[in-house]
Amino acid sequence: MHRVRSLTINGQRVAVDAEPATSLLTVLRDQLGLTGTKYGCGEGQCGACTVLLNGFPRRSCQTAVGVAAGKKITTIEGLARNGKLHPLQQAFLDEGALQCGYCTPGMIMTGVAFLRANPHPSEADIRRFMQGNLCRCGTYPRIVAAFRRAATIKSS
């Protein structure tokens, strides 16, 4: 297969140069300096590396860059609009829903897609959908609170 020479990330076409089988996470972090997307387990288990591909959450450590080529990739760096944080980002800050913050970008990227599909989730919905995103600091109660706050903001 041909090398991947460009990607569409956060609405912009950017030049890269990678073997198609290279992980998207490696290209984002090592070639493009988009280090908001985190390397956690590297095995698809923790969710720290989650980005959106055409609006759907994907684990970038398990996604070949050749698969991502031609799709719209959104990373945590691309969520803010006109200097304003996404409501879920703001809610994480308002609720203090992080300690070390390592899981936070993946939580938020997964959550953005979740709230788009489920604008009024119950706590059980939130816990069920987010169970694949792990927080080693155990901030789950505050993370749930942030989701509830963001849902309120978006519906008000």
Binding site for ligand FES (CB under 6 A): 39-42, 44-49, 59, 61, 98-103, 135-137, 139
CB of 119 to ligand FES, least distance (A): 25
Residue type, 65: V
- Residue whose CB is less far from ligand FES, 3 or 134: 134
Alpha helices in 18-103 (DSSP H): 24-26, 65-68, 87-95
Q: Angle at CA 115, nearest 5°, toward 109 and 121? A: 135
Count CA atoms within 13 Å of residue 43 on its CB side: 3
CB of 64 to ligand FES, least distance (A): 13
Query: E strand or H helix at 142, and its extent?
Result: helix 140-155
CB of 136 to ligand FES, least distance (A): 4
Residue 153 CA to residue 86 CA, distance in Å, equals: 11
CB of 63 to ligand FES, least distance (A): 9
